[in-house]
Structure formats: C-alpha cells, structure tokens
Chains A and B, each alone.
Chain A
Amino acid sequence: MSEVLRAEGLSKRFTGIKANENVSFSMEAGSIRAIIGPNGAGKTTFLSMISGHLPPTTGKIFHKGQDVTRMDVVKRARRGILRKFQTPSVFDELSVYENLEIAVLGTNRAADPRPARIRSVLETVRLADRPDALCKHLSHGQRQWLEIGLLLGRNADLLLLDEPTAGMTAEETAATASLIKELTKDHTLSVIVIEHDIDFIRDLEAPVMVLHLGEVLTEGSFDSVANDQRVRDVYLGT
C-alpha cells in the first residue's frame, strides 16, 4: 500500500509555548487514524500544520511523496487535503443543496456529472431527505455531516476531521463512526480524526496516536493504547 501522508519531526512553538514537539507520523492511503489527547495536547495544532493553516516551526510534511510543507491552505486543499473545523463551518444562510453546489464547483468529472455527485454525497452524509432545508435550521449534528459532505464534494484525498462528533447525540455519534468507516471502505480516501469521545474512537477500529503536552505519548491499536498505563494516567483518568 502507498503512503498518503508522512510528517517528520513536526514542531510548533508559539512565543514561549511548545504546542507540538517533534511529532512524526505516517499513514497509508485508504486508512483511518485517530488522534486523542487531553485538552492542550496539541491535537488541533498538529491538524493545522497538516492542513496548512499553521506553518511548522521545524519539520516536514509529505503528501503522497511530495513535500507540501511550504504550500498554503488553498494549494493543499486542491491536492485533496481537506479539513473540517472544530465548530461546523458551512454556509448557514444557504440550503443544503446550495452548500454542495458550491463545494462541487470546478471539480468536473466527465463520468460523474455534478448533480449526480451532489445526490450521492447527500446520501452518504444522511441528508438526502433535506436538500432544501436552510443550513441554519439543521441540527448541530447534521451541520457536522454537511461539512463532511462539503469536503467530499471536492476532489478529496485525505480528510482532516477536528472533533466531528462534538454536540452529537449518542446515535448520531455512532452513525458518524460508521459513516467514516464507509468513506474509507474502498481504500481511496484516508481520514484523520481528532476526538475526545472514547466510545467513538473504539468504534472507528483504527490505529490511535496519543498526544500529550505536544508530544507523541504512544501509538497503536485502540486496545493497546487504552491499556497503556501512561495513557490512563494522563488522559483516561482511570
């Protein structure tokens, strides 16, 4: 399998604060990776360096073998690295369908016309029955899904999801886990997820990286991480 993303020794220092220190990371195309850690562990900072919203102080980022460390957000997004923000960032005043109409602009594929793609994205993110609803009238969970839908409407290759289940009910959270697994089913799309919800992370059945005080504490399967005494000490609190 090919590697979709590799980060080498990423550090990010704000004046006096080490948000990330020497974080190295790699993942295969078509896989899911979960990142957990207590508040202030540097999870969102790490994601921002991958998406291009923050330049790393040191270190390098490779997307499908190419160095993207110096590329801005727009260039990385065009390569397929697309980010969902912590608070849903959608077009609130527009309808669900109009949201996706914007997302698919400029992503012409002869074999797959845009209206058909909008429909299939709507089905994937479970909004097929509400295309005309104004986005601001959706529930918080549905807006989270719509934002994932916006990323899918682009030519997405790697999704960066920052707390995708924040504000969701238990059922919605479970549905989101199966949605993410669905997305990577045919092994073309890769997903990095940041989350707090431990049940959700377990449902993802994916390798987990634990960040603590900006550094990698440990990495491994959910069970090995959940049974790691250091992780329990700093994070799970049991």
Chain B
Amino acid sequence: MGRPGGLTDKPFSYCPGCTHGIVHRLVAESLDELELTGRTIGVVPVGCSVTAYEFFNCDMAQAAHGRAPAVATGIKRARPDNIVFAYQGDGDLAAIGTAETVHAAARGEQITVIFINNAIYGMTGGQMAPTSLPAQITQTSPYGRDPQVAGYPLRVVEMLSTLDGVALAQRVTVDGPRNIRAAKRAIKKAFEYQRDGVGYSIIEVVSTCPTNWGLSPAAALDWLRQNMLPYYPPGVYRDVVADGHADIAQAAAARRAELAEQATGNASAGQPARRGGGDAA
C-alpha cells in the first residue's frame, strides 16, 4: 500500500504501535480524495506530533503549545479560501490550550481539529494528562490518578457539543480496520463541512501510547477497548447537518428559538426555565 499524495516520503518517527501514523494517513487520504491537499494549511502542536509538518505534504505551521486553534484562526481569517486543520494531542488541546479550543469552537471558526486522545503526555515521557483516567498510573500520578486530588478527566467533544459554533463533534477510535474506516469517514466529513462552510469541526480519536502505557501494541489496544472506550464512548455528539440544518447559523437560530419557546412555556406554567434536552449523544 503506497503512501497517499497528502503525505511526504519521510518515514514516520513514531513509536511502534503508535496510532499517530494511522491518523496522519486518514487525514492525508481524506484531503486527497476531496482534492483539497493543494489548498490545505495544517497546524501542528507541541507533543509527539510536533514534527508532523515533515509528514504532511502541504503548507504547514508549527504552533506554540496549546495555541494551534489560534494559529489556525489567524491563517483561516487571512486566507478564508484555504482549508485549515489543527492536529493536537490531549495535553496540547485539553490542558494548556483549553481556552483557545473552546473559543475557536464558540466562534465557529471554519477549521477542522483532529484531536488525539491517548490519556497521557507522550513526548515528555508519560505524565498525567487532562484526559488520564481515574486510577490511571502515570509518571506524575504514580499511585493512580486520584480525582480527589487531580480532579476528573475532560470529555472534550461532549463539552464542545454544547456550543453553537460547532458543526461536527465526533469521537472515533482506530483500534481495528472497522473503526479505522469509520474514523476515516468522520475525518472526511469534517473536511467536507469546512469546505462547504458549515462550521467548526472536531474529530476526537481515542488513541494508544504503548510506550508510555508500558504495554505492547496489541495489549495497548486491549487496554484502550477495556478502559478508554467506556469512559470516552465513540459517537456523534453534534452534527448540525444530520439535525437538518444547513450550517451553524441555522442550527444556532433553531436552538435559540427552541429555548425561547421553552422559557415562555415554563414562565406561563409558573416554572423556572429549564435547559432543553435533545442534543445528540
């Protein structure tokens, strides 16, 4: 199987069993198939994929830790006709870059974020991440992550799915051929949404880190299935098109109207306004 045109010939430098390579390939294939590679600009984070600008065969920017969504915003605002993606890990996106992530999503930036969640800091050698699971042992949670001390992990796509600026928030995994194909469909859809101006899209990819988890590649996939997927269930958390809207503006208007109606109804019934349910989960 040859490398897609969206990747350079440079061999990946990732550890054996690391899922970065798979996801890089899915991104590159999606862009190639949509014939977008030539007008794509990627932004890579600080973390194991810090040198990913060497692997993607398009224009690339390397961003400061956590700031990829802001860098992507700057690029997209300056060149709205380009396709812009940010590729980030969990420490980058969900710890130091949470504000940039939330606000890029809230603004409905027409960018695509690929979020690699493997519940650990890889590049620095296995420290606790914002998505490390309760009781997970890492270099900086040597007795297991204690929520009483270290708090609870962030479920990023669930959190972002509440924002009107988000067109697509989906969680996938790449633990086997079937799920890899599903992940590819999600990533491709995210770029289609960007191309069509639907809104901000984020695909969270539940991933492994065999090296820092201290497991073989195969055992790491088992650990992912047994521990990660129950905590971070794959699924579509927000898809404004599937909900019957053309874009985030329409979806936001519909949600606003729905909330206003509920508020009026509740007020006449003498009850406090309550949040409407119905968001896909």
A binds B: no
Q: Give the interface of B toward A (CB within 8 A).
A: none
